[in-house]
Each structure stands twice: as structure tokens, then as C-alpha cells.
Amino acid sequence: MSGFETRFQRLEIKFLIDEPTADVVRQQLEPYCQIDPHSFDHPRRDDGHIGYTISSLYLDTPSLAFHRAKERGDANRLKLRVRTYSKTSRATFEVKRRHSDVIDKARIIVDRDRVESCAYGLLDGLDVNDQMESFLNDLGVLVAVSGGFPTLTVKYDREAYASVVDDYARVTFDRRIRAVRTEDWDLAPAEDDCWCRFDDHWCTHHVTDPIVMEIKCRKTVPLWLVDLIKRNNLSRCSFSKYSIGINLTGMQLGHREAYSRSSKVMR
């Protein structure tokens, strides 16, 4: 197995916008950003947008402790997920910690057929360096102590732009968000009627299905992005695809889930 492991901190700021606003913002991004190069590895979508589909398999405890922490609004929270970008891509295992507004993320790329064994700290036969082995050992302990196991898969289509004037800044637009409950390690569940589509549950003033726009940057938001937010009168929102997905799929299954702090825009 070959791969890489990174650790970095960043801000993540989310907004709900409509398609007309996305068109305006996209034009305003042109002097500062270019389309994420990975987008060109995927065909243009039926709606005309360039982008790619992200699939995230989330792990949680039997009592959904990570989800409950989001519901309570805990300042320090944890997410464990496995992300893929196509049905054949390798898998990115991520440990995502939030400390107030700052995100601390560590991730490693693994072969799809080794995701489960890596999660449980079973590294026999893996070709890893010391840094990767340390990360995977820590991951195995974290999963074992928390009792984490596959809980929810979330998929969405992403249109992404990367800054060409900053060390690091990204603007993304996420559409067609959908989720399904799971209890296994299948990284490519079939697209069938069991998926819960967020577009069926929006309850907003927008004339089109909302888009989740997200700004990702270092600890200080670039001035051109501050100006973009002000010019378009954008209002920051709390929006967790995972927690909203847990609530919506719970209602779909007939569970009496608590209403999500981050899903005020949903029914």
C-alpha cells in the first residue's frame, strides 16, 4: 500500500445559497480562483456543472456519540469518515476534530479492500512508513475505544474552486446531497430508492433547491473573500451533512430522532 498522511488546521464557513447567487459568486471568483484541477478528471454533469461526486462513509458509536455532540453544540467534536471520489478510487480515511471554529484534520489514503482492517489496526502486510504506521495505530485505538462502526453514507456533487492568490483557500458548492443508513463497509452503495435526498426536505425561502457553499481557508479569511461575503449579503449557517442525514434517515425509518441544531432549514 502506498499513500500519504497530512495534518492541517483550517477554518470552514458554510452558507446556504440558491442557483442565481451561485452564478454571481462564481463570476466574482474568477480573478482569484481556478476550477479544482481534479474536476477535469470527471465528465461534465447533466446540469452543466463541472465537478465530482463525493461519497463519505461515517463511523459513529452505538449511541451516536459523535452525532449527539453536534446536536449539543459541543465546542470540541470528532468525526471519523472514509471518503471516495468514484466507484474505483482509493479511499481516504479522515479523523476530523473541531475545536470551536478551527478544524484539525488528519487523513491517509488506503486501498479500498483494506479500509476495514486499517480501521481496526490490523496492519499486517501493509507497505507503510513510520509516520503512516503511527497514524493507523492511533486510528485503530480511537476506533476501538469509541466503538466506532459504519453508520451513515452521505453523497453529494461538488463544484470546487481553489485560490491562485493565497497559500490556501477554497470555495465549494455542494448539490444533490443524499444519505442512507448503513452497518457495513460498502464504499459504493447502489443509488436506489432507499436514499434520503435532502432536496425533498428543504424548508427555505429560496426559489431553487439550496446549495451548500463552503469557504475553507487558514486561520484568517482572505480580504477578497470577506468582501465577497459582504457584497452578496451571505449569512453563515451551521450545517452538518452527517447530523442532518442521521435525523432525516431516522425519520425515514420511523425513529423519533431529536431535531438537529444544524437542520433548522429542513422540515
Q: How confident is the model over 214-258, as pLDDT tens digits?
A: 999 988 999 999 999 999 999 999 899 999 999 999 987 777 655
Going by their DSSP bridges, the two strands 33-35 and 52-60 should be labelled as unpaired
Q: Is residue 118 situated within a structural domain?
A: yes
Q: Report the alpha-carbon distance of residue 75 to residue 68 in Å, rounded.
A: 12
Q: Which residue, 156, 157, 151, 142, is CA-closest to 50?
A: 157
CATH number of the domain that residue 140 is part of: 3.20.100.30
Q: Report the alpha-carbon distance of residue 128 to residue 134 in Å, rounded.
A: 10
Predicted local confidence at residue 204, as pLDDT: 79
Q: Report the alpha-carbon distance of residue 138 to residue 128 in Å, rounded.
A: 14
Q: Is residue 43 situated within a structural domain?
A: yes
The C-alpha cell that represents 30 in the structure block = 474568477
Q: Is residue 26 situated within a structural domain?
A: yes
Q: Report the alpha-carbon distance of residue 32 to residue 169 in Å, rounded.
A: 10
Give the angle 217-163-43 at the CA atoms, nearest 5°: 110
Predicted local confidence at residue 258, as pLDDT: 55
Q: Is residue 257 situated within a structural domain?
A: no
Which residues make Cβ contacts (< 8 Å) with residue 233, sequence separation at least 6?
none
Q: Is residue 265 situated within a structural domain?
A: no
Predicted local confidence at residue 121, as pLDDT: 87
Q: Is residue 54 situated within a structural domain?
A: yes
The low-confidence residues of the chain, meaning pLDDT below 70, are 1-7, 41-48, 256-263, 267
Q: Which residue, 95, 106, 83, is CA-closest to 188?
A: 83
**DSSP letter, residue 260:** P
Q: Report the alpha-carbon distance of residue 56 to residue 91 in Å, rounded.
A: 10
Q: Report the alpha-carbon distance of residue 259 to residue 267 in Å, rounded.
A: 9
Domain count, the chain: 1
Give the three-class secondary structure for 127. coil
Chain-centroid distance, C-alpha 116: 20
Q: Is residue 267 situated within a structural domain?
A: no
Q: Is residue 170 situated within a structural domain?
A: yes
Which residue type, as a one-letter code, is found at position 108?
A: I
Predicted local confidence at residue 3, as pLDDT: 57
Predicted local confidence at residue 1, as pLDDT: 45
Expressed as residue numbers, the domain containing 36 is 5-252
Predicted local confidence at residue 259, as pLDDT: 58
